[in-house]
Amino acid sequence: MTQSMMSYSDTGTGFPVLLGHSYLFDKSMWSPQIDTLAKYFRVIATDLWGHGQSPALPASTSSMADIAADHLALMDSLGIREFAVVGLSVGGMWGAELAAAAPERVKALMLFDTFVGDETQEARDRYFMMLNAIKALGSIPVPMLEYVVAQFYSRYANPEDIRQLSTSLSALSPEQLRTSIVPLGELIFGRPNRLALLETITCPTHVATGALDLPRPATEGRLMAEKLGCDFTLIPNAAHISNRENPEMVTQLIVDFLRQYG
């Protein structure tokens, strides 16, 4: 068990729901959903290691399964036995690992804009080239920053969300980038193919992808839903951070799905 705990918020009462955010974001990514979800559920939203208010990525972290175990340790510390997991992007990657590792505890799983298969060689090379450049520079150069932001958000995004992401990425310190952001990126983009894991998940599941998601296209979401034997939802007018580009639809989707099990 990791010595230090991730930062988290704990809102509302009812059946517990654990929210996992995207790489390069933090728990505030879920702000459009939390107030509504908290009317029905106890909502725990974490900051991933090296993101938001959480401490640096532990040196011992070597896989998504390790990050899943850290979240399980957090739930243990809160005295929460059974819960649902809602993960977007990397939140879905460790969320699937958690559902597979603790089937008696994870009672429902929602996967947004994520993929547990591996990256294509071309995508992996591109991501690692970017990570190596960031590590060498100790910052994200402006052209790369603009490219990264465009991978997350579409033209339907709130301009304030785009500005906020640009500002937060520009503000990352060389130490934060080198000790957490880059190593975590290497874990995410260098991950092995874990699609077979989906066939071992027993809890009710739902997969959804933004129709305009560039890094995680809908074909990937549909493939995962097929392996899970569950429904797939295409979220219109939304890219990778679908919960912020089409917040009403995503909130409703989560409430409708989880109220069957919570």
CATH number of 8-117+193-258: 3.40.50.1820
Instruction: Give the per-residue pLDDT at 4.
Output: 79
pLDDT in tens, 158-179: 999 999 999 999 999 999 999 9
CA distances from 218 to 43, 195, 246, 254 (A): 27, 15, 16, 18
Strand partners of residue 41: 15
Q: What is the pTM assigned to this prediction?
A: 0.97
pLDDT < 70 regions, the chain: 1-3, 262
Contact 68, 2 (CB under 8 A): no
Residue extents of the structural domains in the chain: 8-117+193-258
Q: What is each CA distance from 46 to 32, 59, 88, 252, in whole angstroms?
A: 15, 19, 12, 21
Nearest 5 degrees, angle CA 58-CA 244-CA 131? Answer: 40
